[in-house]
Amino acid sequence: MPEIASTPQPPYYAVIFTSIRTDGDKGYGVMAERMVDLATRQEGFLGMESAREGLGVTVSYWASLEAIAQWKQNVEHREAQRLGHSSWYADFKVRIARVERDYGG
Amino acid sequence: MPEIASTPQPPYYAVIFTSIRTDGDKGYGVMAERMVDLATRQEGFLGMESAREGLGVTVSYWASLEAIAQWKQNVEHREAQRLGHSSWYADFKVRIARVERDYGG
């Protein structure tokens, strides 16, 4: 079952990662799963929501900009970023945003 | 072809709308298409990225909080919101965030 992330009261941070894949798996599936597993165990990780339908839209939520910076520097994650740029993604964009308000559900 | 939104230099705003559908279309498809068409013509609309894979993740980008507030108050959009709450979505969350930094591509 898909789930909407249970995030705390704002403010907190969102990393909006949008991507378009190249053809073929080339190790992407295994690495993507590993990155989700690793991200959820990072200090300051609050949740993640993801879907791919042509375009991939993944939003991860974090307690602070410092937590985001540390995750970006994680050694395994850096290798995944390198492979993402060189072979998995035809195009991508990362946006760092401060969640100021939320509602719904 | 899916496309990554061409947004301007930050800061700007993102509305992260995450949802889980109920079963059956119930007029959702037509209305969703209409809402995309309508949103893109709103003052301050900057772009949109969307995918559904169990979970639906739609991020729309806006020039200001005022633009977001006006879109939320749009008469047709209000009717879509009402139907969303009452019949299309089993669960949803809206997060309003200020994009502070972006990179990639």
ipTM here? 0.96
Query: Is residue A80 situated within a structural domain?
Result: no
Query: Is residue B48 situated within a structural domain?
Result: yes
**The two three-digit tokens of residue B56, written as one number:** 């639906």
Among B70, B68, B90, B72, which residue's Cα sits nearest to residue B81? B72
What is the rounded CA–CA span in Å between residue A50 and residue A74? 21
Q: Does A57 touch chain B (CB under 8 A)?
A: yes
Query: Is residue B64 situated within a structural domain?
Result: no
Domain that holds residue B49: 10-58
- Strand-pair partners of A56: A19, A52
pLDDT digits (tens, 9 = 90+) for A18-52: 999 999 999 999 999 999 999 999 999 999 999 99
pLDDT score for B1: 62
Query: Is residue B72 situated within a structural domain?
Result: no
B55: buried, middle or exposed (CB in 10 Å: 19+, 13-18, 0-12)? Answer: buried
The whole-model pTM stands at: 0.96
Q: Does B75 touch chain A (CB under 8 A)?
A: no
Query: Is residue A38 situated within a structural domain?
Result: yes
Query: Is residue B104 situated within a structural domain?
Result: no
pLDDT digits (tens, 9 = 90+) for B87-104: 999 999 999 999 999 998
Q: How many domains does chain B have?
A: 1
Query: Is residue A65 situated within a structural domain?
Result: no
pLDDT digits (tens, 9 = 90+) for B36-75: 999 999 999 999 999 999 999 999 999 999 999 999 999 9
Query: Is residue B78 situated within a structural domain?
Result: no
Smallest CA–CA distance from A104 into chain B, residue: B93
Q: Does B36 touch chain A (CB under 8 A)?
A: no
